[in-house]
Structures are given as structure tokens and as C-alpha cells.
Structure 1
Amino acid sequence: MALIKSISGIRGTIGGKVDENLTPLDVVKFTSAFGTWLQNNKNKKDITLVVGRDARISGSMVNSLVCATLQGLGIHVVDLGLSTTPTVEVMVPELHADGGIILTASHNPKQWNALKLLNEKGEFITGKDGAEVLALAESEDFDYAEVDSLGKYETRDDAFDIHIQKILDLPLVRAEAIKAKKFKVVVDAVNSTGGIAIPQLLEHFGCEVIKLYCEPNGNFPHNPEPLKEHLGDICELVKKEKADLGIVVDPDVDRLALVDENGELFGEEYTLVAVADYLLRHTKGAAVSNLSSSRALADVAEKLGCEYFASAVGEVNVVTLMKEKNAVIGGEGNGGIIYPELHYGRDSLVGVALFLTHLAKEGKTVSELRATYPSYFMGKKKIELTTDIDVDTLLTKVQNEYLNEKVSTVDGVKIDFENNWVHLRKSNTEPIIRIYTEAFSQQEADSLADEMILKIKSLI
């Protein structure tokens, strides 16, 4: 069991001992720290926070602790109840709130929960801000409100409606084109809040929706990370129902995976590629993903006469670079779509709307659309080192071995060869170097990782 404190929030397993797991006392302490930090930052006590949660089993308990703690600080709470990460992100500026807290451990198993922290724009707080919140949590320098100054509490049940309407209002979302196709869609929402939001969106598009694991009870029927090895049920059901496609989301609905009409995975890296292909055809501008995402996005951007930029790994880093480059589209290769026309956060709902628009206007099946993109294969390995090895020095040695290649040191060391690439990142918690590769075949991607492991060992 574990408790992980980071600049982006606090994450841990429910139960156990204080400061070792995500216990009620840890929830109260970290909530107090974020609320106090916001009050100090705004230089006022009278602030408003939006709170929403996914459907995991511990969600109701954690939600009660968070909301009551914020009220105890004199903070007004708008509780969205069952929600999604992107919905909370949309609702913070919509309600002119001072920030937000999303209660979700994303794709982690059911014993996990987390507090993710948003600023007044509905975006994740910066690393600097997160460090200040952590310092406050350690000091426990909190000043709770007296009885006449307790925060107000209200609930909202219209957040999905507002979020979906904003998507429908986007100029490049063509609802009528989608309706004309009468798509038959299977949805696997791993028994979390996507089981509410995704079918609600699809009904606006006139789709026939077949629900699989859409009961928001937090009993995940399979590992909630939307990877191929966990998605056998929806692949079979798509074929059985002769559906046009399958849609898979993780518990907090910020990762989107797709299944084609043959029950084959579209590829989580290609969710962003397909959406970018559509958007960049209609709006010229830059595309951004992180250094460990597929080269296919850069290929599509280049083909359409647009620029591509790679950020350090992490959603905050992607968003920062998107703003710097005024990007039209961005995201991460795990199926995370960031469309700044709506908001700067990974959003499966807008991803679904844009993908279905693209699919409808192309007049292709999902498998035919996938075949229009270059096929790359990824490998992921790691090398474990002894604690006496200076990993940074070792990575510099690797970098110096490839001075004739295109090398990036924005986040670890990434080496772009002509037909493939390798990305080396050190772990912040263990003496490990993680090795990500991409090539034209799985064998080539895995072999490249093995070659890099041998190279690293030769430099130790």
C-alpha cells in the first residue's frame, strides 16, 4: 500500500496508517493545505472551489471529507458529485470559481484514490504551486474558520449538460454529419462516470449505444487502464453486435481508446493522430505531444504543412508548450486529447465528438481510417541500476555517443534515428532508466531497446 505526494496532487491506497496510505487524516491535511494555499494566494478567505469525483468505491467517503474540510476553512464548495476530470476542468471557469479538486486515481485500481488540484482556469496547478502546497501540508499551518464564517455548500447536477453543450457548440464538431451515419457504438466505461457522460454525448449524435460496464458503481470489471490486454470483452462485443466502433474510457474519462468494426484496437497512440488529422486540415497551426508519444503525429502534421513540437512527459508540460506555440491540438499518446478551443485538459468527450466527425466526413470504416496512417510499434523496457550510479552522468554519456543524431534533452535523452527513436528517462524514485522505443515493427522496437540496454551497460 502506498501514499504518493507530488506537485500534481496526492495519491494513495485507502486504509492503513497515517502518512503511509491515503487515510481520512491525510485527505483532511492535504485538502487543508490546498485550501489554505489558495486563500493565501488570493489574499482572501472568501473563495469558491468546485469538487467532482469518479465512481470508485471510496469516492463518496473522500468527497465528504474534502467538502467538509473546505467548509471548515470558510471556503464555499460547489459539489458536482459524480463527474469526470474534463467536466470539472470545464466547470471551474464556467462558475468563476477560484479552483477545483478532482477526486480520482485515474487508471489506477479500485483501492487507489487521489486529489488532483486545479487553478482558477480549470488547469492543473504548476510544479511551483504544487511544491508550495506540499510545504504547507508538512507545516500544518492552517487557520480554520469560526462558526459564523463556515463555507457554504451547494450541489450541481447540470455539469454534464453544460460540458456537452460546449462541445456541440464547437464549429468543427458536426453533429448533423454524425447523425446521418447512424453509428452503432459499444461503450466500455469500466463502471465509472464515463458510463453516464459518454452515452449522454452519443445520444446527441443519434448513435445507437450498447453499454458495457457503464454502471457507475466503482466495481471495475477489468484493469481500468485502457490497454489491449484489458479490453477483450469490448472487442468481442463489437464483433458480436456488428457495431461500427467501440469506445473505451478510463475511470475519470481523460483517456480515450477506440475499437474498430472488426474488434481490433485502433491503437491508443492513434486517437490523437486521427483527431489531429481532422483538425489540422481545417485549422492550420501547430500540434504538440510529449517526447514518448508516436512519431505518427509529427508525420501527419508535416503532411498537412503544419509544425509539430514535443514537450517533456506530463500533461502540465504538454499544455505549457501548447500555449507557447499557440497549438491547435495536443495531447499524450495514452489517448489524451487536449483541444484548447474548449479547454486545456485531456478530454475524452471532445475526443469522441471530433473523431466521430472525422469518421463521418471521411465516409470510411474505422479500420479503413486507421490504414491511412503510418504504422509504428512501441517498446517499453527498463534497466535497473545500483544506487551508487549517477544516473544523470550516465545519461550524458549516452547522449555523447550519438552526437551525429538528432538528440533532445528536454526530458531525459531522446535519440531520433531516421526510421526509429529511443527515449531514456530516469525514475524519480528508483535507480532505474526507463526505455521507450518506436519503430516500423514490434521486433525492431524491442531490439532497439535491447541494444540500448547493452550500450548503457557498456558505459557504466
Structure 2
Amino acid sequence: MGRLFGTDGVRGLANGDLTPELALSVAIAAGTVLVESDASHQPLAIVGRDPRASGEMLEAAVVAGLTSVGANVVRVGVLPTPAVAFLVGQANADLGVMVSASHNPMPDNGIKLFAAGGQKLPDDLEVRIEAAIADGHGLVGRPTGGDIGRVHDLLDGAEHYVKHLVSSLPHRLEGIKVVVDCANGAASEVGPDAYREAGAEVIEIFAEPDGLNINDECGATHLEAVSEAVVRHGADLGIAHDGDADRCLAVTASGEVVDGDQIMAILALAMRDAGTLADNTLVATVMSNLGLRLAMKRENIRLIEAKVGDRYVLEELAAGSFSLGGEQSGHIVMPAFATTGDGVLTGMHLMAQIASSGKSLADLASVLHTLPQVLINVKVADRAAGAAAPTVQAAVALAEEELGETGRVLLRPSGTEPLVRVMVEAATEEQARSVAERIAEDVRAASPA
């Protein structure tokens, strides 16, 4: 069996790559590893899902697998991924399972696992779970009779989560008018409820999930609708979530996009001024725009770069006990209040800064000047050879000398496809494209597809 877990759990075409049988196996293996890790008590698992139709089928398989190895299960229904992680911590559960494919289209689904405390699973636990699946461990000697796990439903999980979000705010949101694009996803009720509870005037769009319309031309990957709605309603800003609401992107009153880099910059400055930015440090990834680095340098805030993927941001945050990190895509992590990226939490704190400062979102976002960025995906025969070739490295070095401090080159072999990604940032779009195309040609020549 190849590597099953990606950077964000198991994901694939529901009932194609991700079958009920696979979901059952993952749950059995995860439950078995839990029992082996601590046999002193009966494990407890929290299980939630987003509203896509296949979630009902996969949730049933997950619940069956966990109870079959003796774990008790609390189903929390349709809730955002960060809400499930929060409830794992609140209930002192041993495991959390979220059935969701996040921003992927409806036919896909996924399984995300959380360890005790709502933390993402460490690599060694994922390896043990994959090994248990591969060798069929847990298929014999399972409990019978009264030792089989039981299933209960938690009906007020959303209320607990909303109360937690509102309690985290440094400032209420009265006076803020916001359009919220819920992506017909897991935050379709919780998101607007939380923003209203905090005092904002809320206009929700794409908040009517039917199991089939999640992420369908809406949400954080399709910002046109929320931009138009903000202008039409005369709102102060727009917020867009993805299917499981672990992301947050925003738009200004005039409909201009504010991405994760800009949101991180706004929050970093607010937290620095409030004395809550631990060690005066922000954690981002290598894919964040150079503009973020320049802005943080100007503001005397240290920027640490993690590998691409929110799990690597989380690792850096934990290693340094830092208080803010995230990705350009809108995964923002505030460890004081959440163990994973939380889109609704991010939206609330972004609006709190608008409310407390009296400034518009556009004014706050102007702290960061985003440099033009060009990304070329080069198809190659050997991605490692294509990236490491001496001619390619020489081309990169020449480009870096040419760009100086006003630009950046990032050469990255794809982890899953026969591609080398060439990303260039420069003072102008024309310069970025010229440099990127030049390096891309050298990559093609080094390893022709």
C-alpha cells in the first residue's frame, strides 16, 4: 500500500478512491492504535462531517469501525473541521474524525483525524495506522457483547463552539456589516450565527447546503460572488469560507480580494500592539508572497517560513510556542483559541480589528504590498533531476542576483505529479514572467517529459 495520508488526512473520490470499506479500515486501525496506546480506559471519539452527500455513507462506516474495536462515539453532525477539533478537546476525547474534503468539489470526500486535545495526528501515529490497515490488524480478537462501543449524538455542539468563538474576541463587532459566503458547507449555520452573536450585521450567501452544492462556484475558491454581493449591499467587507470552514479569505468594501498573507499581516500587527504576538513572530510558508516578508521586516516582526501545508505551520507554531501562523490560501492558526486553522475564528478577529481601529479593511490591508507572482508548472520526466540539474541551479542563481531584494525565486518539485513548479516574484508582472519562463525552459531541457 502506498502512502495513504496526505498533508491533510485521506482524500479522494467518494465511493471511488475513498470507499466505505477504506473508511471502515481507517477507523478500525485508528481505534486499534488508540486502544493499544492506552488500555486503561475505553476510548472516546468525536465524529463530525461536512454536508456533502457522501458524508452520510462514510460517517456510518467510520462509526461502525470505531465501535467495532470498543471505542465509544459521539456524533456531532455537520460542523466545521475546527469545531470538531475544539469538541475533541472539550470532551477530553481520545480521537476526532472529520469526514470532509475541505475545498474539493462535491464528488470528493476525505477523512481527517485529530489526536487527544484536538491536535493533528503526529507522523508516527499516522505511520502506525497505515501499518495496521496494511496488515489487517484489528480484524480479529475484537470485543463482543457489552464491550462493543456505543454511539451517542451531541445536539448542542454548535452552541458550545459559537460561545467559545465569541469569548475569544478582544472587541465586539457592532457597526460591522458583513457578507458571508458559506460555500454551502459546514459553516452555513455556525458561521452567520457566530458573527451575529458577536454583534455584526450579517448577510449570508450560499448557506443552503443540499449535499450536492458544496463549493460549487462559491466559497473561498470562487470569490466573484461575495465581491459582487459586498458592493451590492454596501457592506464593510465580505468573508468567504471553504467547505469545512478551516479557511477564511476576505474582500474589501469595493470588492478587492484580501488573501491569507494580508490577513496574517493585519492580525500580526494587531497582536503585536496588544502584546499577544509571542516572541514578536509570525509563521508563514515558503509560498507566502515576498510582500509579506518585506512588510514584516519593516514592522520589526520576525517571519519564520515553514514547508507548504498547514500541518507544517502547526509544527513550527508548537516548536516555538508562537501565537500566529498560516498560509496564503487562508488557513490561519491562532493557537490560543484553536488547534487548527479556523476560518470563522479568523473572520471574527479580522472584523474585531476593523471595529476597534475604525479603519476600513482596505486601509488595514495596505500594510502589505503584494508583489506580482508568476507560477509555471513544468512537466518533466524526473522532477528531482529537473530541479537539481546544474544548469537549472545556475539559472536560479542568476535570476536571484538579477532580482536582488525586490524579487524571489522558488523552485519546487511537486510531491504528487511529474512537475517542477517555478514561482517568481518581481517588481513587475513582466519581469516575473520573463524570469519564470527562462528558468522553466532550463527545467524542460534538463528533464524532457
The TM-score with structure 1 as length reference comes to 0.88
Contact 1:4 1:11 (C-alpha < 8 Å) held by counterparts: no
Contact 1:280 1:301 (C-alpha < 8 Å) held by counterparts: no
How far apart, CA to CA, are the structure 1 residues paired with 2:434 and 2:122? 37
Pairwise CA distance, 1:80: 0.9
How far apart, CA to CA, are the structure 2 residues paired with 1:264 and 1:6? 36
- In the alignment, what sits opposite 1:6? 5
Pairwise CA distance, 1:376: 2.1
Match of 2:160 among 135, 138, 162: 162
Superimposed CA distance per residue, residues 429-448 of structure 1 (whole angstroms, 9 cap, x where no aligned partner)? 33211223333443333333
Pairwise CA distance, 1:26: 1.4
- In the alignment, what sits opposite 1:394? 388
Change (3 A) 1:393 1:221: closer
How far apart, CA to CA, are the structure 1 residues paired with 2:390 and 2:40? 47
Q: Structure 2 matches for 1:123-272, cutoff 5 A?
A: 123-142=119-138, 143=140, 144-170=142-168, 173-175=170-172, 178-179=173-174, 182-218=175-211, 219-220=213-214, 222-223=216-217, 226-227=220-221, 230-272=222-264
Superimposed CA distance per residue, residues 217-240 of structure 1 (whole angstroms, 9 cap, x where no aligned partner)? 23236345623xx22222221111
Contact 1:10 1:115 (C-alpha < 8 Å) held by counterparts: yes
Change (3 A) 1:221 1:107: closer
Pairwise CA distance, 1:75: 0.3
Change (3 A) 1:127 1:436: farther
Pairwise CA distance, 1:45: 6.4
1:342 and 2:337 matched: yes
How far apart, CA to CA, are the structure 2 residues paired with 1:417 and 1:347? 36
Pairwise CA distance, 1:269: 3.1
Opposite residue 239 of structure 1, the aligned amino acid is V
Opposite residue 166 of structure 1, the aligned amino acid is H
Contact 2:51 2:214 (C-alpha < 8 Å) held by counterparts: no
Aligned length: 439
Match of 2:26 among 30, 39, 43: 30
How far apart, CA to CA, are the structure 1 residues paired with 2:317 and 2:106? 33
Superimposed CA distance per residue, residues 292-340 of structure 1 (whole angstroms, 9 cap, x where no aligned partner)? 1123333343333221110111112111111222222101111111001
1:108 and 2:104 matched: yes
Contact 1:53 1:59 (C-alpha < 8 Å) held by counterparts: yes
Pairwise CA distance, 1:52: 0.9
Pairwise CA distance, 1:377: 2.8
Change (3 A) 1:265 1:405: closer
- In the alignment, what sits opposite 1:321? 316
1:456 and 2:443 matched: yes
Change (3 A) 1:150 1:40: same
| Partner secondary structure for residue 6 of structure 1 | coil
Pairwise CA distance, 1:101: 0.7
Pairwise CA distance, 1:343: 2.4
Pairwise CA distance, 1:169: 2.6
Superimposed CA distance per residue, residues 159-189 of structure 1 (whole angstroms, 9 cap, x where no aligned partner)? 222223223333x6211xx21xx22111111
Superimposed CA distance per residue, residues 272-301 of structure 1 (whole angstroms, 9 cap, x where no aligned partner)? 222222212222421101111123333343
Match of 2:364 among 364, 369, 378: 369
How far apart, CA to CA, are the structure 2 residues paired with 1:453 and 1:404? 14
Pairwise CA distance, 1:382: 0.9
Bigger Cα displacement from structure 2, 150-159 vs 102-111: 150-159
How far apart, CA to CA, are the structure 2 residues paired with 1:47 and 1:243? 47
Contact 1:281 1:304 (C-alpha < 8 Å) held by counterparts: no
Contact 1:73 1:151 (C-alpha < 8 Å) held by counterparts: yes
Change (3 A) 1:234 1:44: same
- In the alignment, what sits opposite 1:421? 408
| Partner secondary structure for residue 422 of structure 1 | strand
Contact 1:188 1:249 (C-alpha < 8 Å) held by counterparts: yes
1:379 and 2:377 matched: no
- In the alignment, what sits opposite 1:411? none
Bigger Cα displacement from structure 2, 353-362 vs 7-16: 7-16
Change (3 A) 1:441 1:164: farther
Change (3 A) 1:314 1:289: same
Opposite residue 252 of structure 1, the aligned amino acid is D
Identity in percent: 25
Change (3 A) 1:397 1:157: farther
Pairwise CA distance, 1:73: 1.2
| Partner secondary structure for residue 452 of structure 1 | helix
Opposite residue 12 of structure 1, the aligned amino acid is G
Opposite residue 144 of structure 2, the aligned amino acid is E
How far apart, CA to CA, are the structure 2 residues paired with 1:254 and 1:91? 15
Opposite residue 108 of structure 1, the aligned amino acid is N
How far apart, CA to CA, are the structure 2 residues paired with 1:416 and 1:272? 25
RMSD: 2.5
Change (3 A) 1:443 1:278: farther
Contact 1:273 1:296 (C-alpha < 8 Å) held by counterparts: no
Bigger Cα displacement from structure 2, 96-105 vs 439-448: 439-448
Change (3 A) 1:363 1:235: same
Superimposed CA distance per residue, residues 246-272 of structure 1 (whole angstroms, 9 cap, x where no aligned partner)? 110000001111111112222343222
Runs (5+) with no aligned partner, structure 2: none
Change (3 A) 1:211 1:403: closer
